[in-house]
Structure 1
């Protein structure tokens, strides 16, 4: 996602750079008024950002590439250590929840014949542990991990999530619980699809974003757990 953002932001300026200087070369060839030194000087500026900016973007807690970001004045290392310690605690608690409550339900799930009764019982047995896992993952990653890296990099824009717990609809929940991914989907998927299909097919752009998000989430879980269990796909693609 970061690679796509970096290429998507810099490709247009590189193309524009090539078009401008190709036109200048044609004009210079026609007039023969410019010297070779001037040509070398005019091409000394590269349209691509410095490598240090790319490295900063790779580690920055954002998926939207910019040449510069708001920066804080100093690093509070006590805050960094506190966030990392809370992240480790969230990881261990998530592991305990999954190993103690979720894994026994799905340990032989792919080898048994799955009936409607087994399917419903598996959902009910994992409802409460799954909700706790959601809270742990949210707090551990979107709060502790991203804030720790933001503090170490003096990254000042730290709106990683909003008040999703007050959401009254699925659309509001998806827009607020993970602003980092939502901004990437809106900037590089929705807006591009909106430009491609036009205002008339706005719903097509919306469903493209929802479907892509559902497929990616389900693909990651299928690789991690070794079986296809399309709960998130139904949640994103149907309810979303």
Structure 2
């Protein structure tokens, strides 16, 4: 299966026009995503024969088949071997489908869903241990840094420069490797993101584990930030 690269091309082009050329930034982000993907898959770099990437085609997630499952319980969940994960807050927002009717780099509905989820959970950005975001394109993760308030508009690259979003940084983003690592099983992607977050919060993420992870946010979107959902989760 292959998805049209048009969204990737348009978002990257708009960002180039507004904030200057970003090829080095995208390449650095791809390197980090690849590093997390290898950790997630328990593969050593020496096991890889070749990596193929281009800014506009390789920058897309691979569409895949797959499934994911989350079991929900009441206020008092049954005892489990690794403990339960709680939903502290959720937020949902939608936007116009045509990009011409909005600022395509603002992801405004994503920002609204994010604010709603944090408000419901009663937490702030500084309370989060890590994020799992919908990196459908390499450029989308960079835009989401700004949408979710990690950096001002056009300054997402600074989080790569200072290491904030890396696994050992102040706020790791996609320690699982994200969609670029596991693929994008449409319809199951959002649930699978929650499963990966739950693994972190229960200390069962193996080599992907973020130390002392206690509160996380999961961001999922459909289209060019048309449908947006954010969950805030906690351990215990």
Fold match (TM-score > 0.5): no
Give 1 or 2 for the bigger CA radius of gyration.
1
> Greater helix share, 1 or 2?
1
TM-score with structure 2 setting the length: 0.23
| Greater length-normalized contact order (CA 8 Å, ≥ 6 residues apart) | 2
